[in-house]
Amino acid sequence: MEEEIEKIETLTTDEAGRMIGKSGEFIRAGLRAQRKPFIDFGAATPPQNPGGRWNYIVFKTKFLMYLGVIKGEVNTNEKVKRIS
């Protein structure tokens, strides 16, 4: 019998940006550039065809760990605005 895989919760780049007082474009730019800390909680996939669209994924649990809202890796960025 196959084991059912639990769905991973994600955030849009706009939702993630609002949580830290930034725009969705701020998150998208960091993901496209594959910069730390962005690659710790998400990814960007370039378009497959010229003129195509980028795809973005922000893993909710990893993003909340980055913010220090849930236990996990230590948040080393003290400039991040915490959410309640």
Global pTM reads 0.76
Residue 25 sits in which domain range? Answer: 10-67
Is residue 47, in this structure, part of any structural domain at all? yes
Is residue 8's pLDDT more than 50?
Answer: yes
Structure confidence by residue, pLDDT tens digits, 10-42 = 999 999 999 999 999 999 999 999 999 898 999
Is residue 39, in this structure, part of any structural domain at all? yes
- The Cα 51–Cα 18 span in angstroms is 28
Q: What percent of the chain stands above pLDDT 90? A: 64
Is residue 3, in this structure, part of any structural domain at all? no
Is residue 23, in this structure, part of any structural domain at all? yes
Place of tokens 């730019």: 29
> How many separate domains does the chain show?
1
Residue 14, classified by CB atoms within 10 Å of its CB into exposed (0-12), middle (13-18) or buried (19+), is middle
Residue 70 — pLDDT band, cuts 50, 70, 90? confident
Is residue 43, in this structure, part of any structural domain at all? yes
Residue 72 — pLDDT band, cuts 50, 70, 90? low
Is residue 4, in this structure, part of any structural domain at all? no
